[in-house]
């Protein structure tokens, strides 16, 4: 019943609006002006005024050559570290969004 009502009130072809100006800024920063080192993948977002989050990592037991590869697994991080990191990131993102703090300085 609920699904039928939802389908009835949803306009056909409804899509989320795309902020073309912001996408153009990000594309220009990443492809034309970026002087950011490859390992700091969040800085290009900060450069155009969007929030970027970087986790604090213990590099004593972390080989940077395996960053974002098949070696960067849940087992390597461990359950406690993964839960703590995701909770903190989620909390930060939610608080930024709700308060309008997702800016370069926020």
What ranges do the domains of the chain cover? Answer: 19-50, 54-106
Predicted pLDDT of residue 21: 87
Please choose, from the candidates 59, 41, 37, the residue with its C-alpha nearest in 3D space to the C-alpha of residue 50: 41
Q: Of the given ranges (11-20, 74-83, 95-104), which has the lowest mean pLDDT?
A: 95-104
Which residues does 104 contact at the CB level (< 8 Å), separation at least 6? 46, 49
Q: Please, which pLDDT band fits residue 6 given cuts at 50, 70 and 90?
A: very low
Predicted pLDDT of residue 106: 41
Q: Is the pLDDT of residue 105 over 80?
A: no
68: left (phi over 0), alpha (psi -120 to 50) or beta: left
Task: Kindly state the average pLDDT of the residues 67-77.
Answer: 63
Q: Is the pLDDT of residue 47 over 60?
A: yes
């Amino acid at each position: 019943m609920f699904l039928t009502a939802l389908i009835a009130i949803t306009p056909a072809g409804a899509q989320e609006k795309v902020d073309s100006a912001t996408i153009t800024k990000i594309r220009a920063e990443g492809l034309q002006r970026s002087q950011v080192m490859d390992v700091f993948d969040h800085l290009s977002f900060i450069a155009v005024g969007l929030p970027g989050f970087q986790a604090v990592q213990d590099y004593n037991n972390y080989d940077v050559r395996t960053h974002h590869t098949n070696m960067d697994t849940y087992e390597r991080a461990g359950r406690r570290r993964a839960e703590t990191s995701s909770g903190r990131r989620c909390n930060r993102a939610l608080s930024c969004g709700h308060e309008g703090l997702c800016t370069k300085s926020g």
